[in-house]
């Protein structure tokens, strides 16, 4: 997964034409650590279709605040600079995959 900060978020997400999933996480968050393997698995399996990125909320606090991220892990889904959907909390790989395809079905 591509690591994002306030410096590269615009170029990698908002200016990208590729459907993009962004995981917001914190290093100290145990649920984020549990969620990471699921996100990495999907990033590997669907790298030709979707871009997968991550934002560490303590490192990019302004970015996290600008999207109202107050619970991690959280996912936001973008296409052509538009925020399509988002959710927070711990889910398994199958649920994440289903949501990913549903959100990006028209992209």
d(CA 19, CA 13): 9
Report the Cα 92 to chain-centroid distance in Å.
15
Residue 76 pLDDT: 98
pLDDT tens string 35-47: 999 999 999 999 9
Q: What is the mean pLDDT of residues 11-29?
A: 97
Domains, the chain, with CATH or none: 2-6+19-103 (3.40.30.10)
pLDDT tens string 48-63: 999 999 999 999 999 9
Cα-based distances in Å from 65 to 55, 57, 62, 104 = 12, 9, 5, 24
pLDDT tens string 72-96: 999 999 999 999 999 999 999 999 9
With b meaning 16 or more CB within 10 Å and e meaning fewer, what string describes 48-71?
eebbbbbbbbeebeebbeeeebee
pTM value? 0.95
């Amino acid at each position: 997964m591509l690591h994002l900060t306030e410096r590269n978020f615009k170029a990698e997400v908002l200016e990208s034409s590729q459907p993009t999933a962004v995981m917001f996480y914190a290093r100290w968050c145990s649920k984020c650590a549990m969620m990471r393997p699921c996100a990495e698995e999907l990033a590997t399996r669907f790298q030709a279709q979707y871009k997968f990125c991550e934002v560490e909320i303590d490192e990019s606090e302004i970015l996290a605040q600008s999207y109202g991220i107050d619970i991690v892990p959280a996912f936001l889904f973008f296409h052509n600079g538009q925020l399509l959907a988002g959710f927070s909390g711990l889910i398994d790989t199958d649920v994440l995959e289903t949501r990913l395809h549903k959100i990006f079905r028209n992209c």
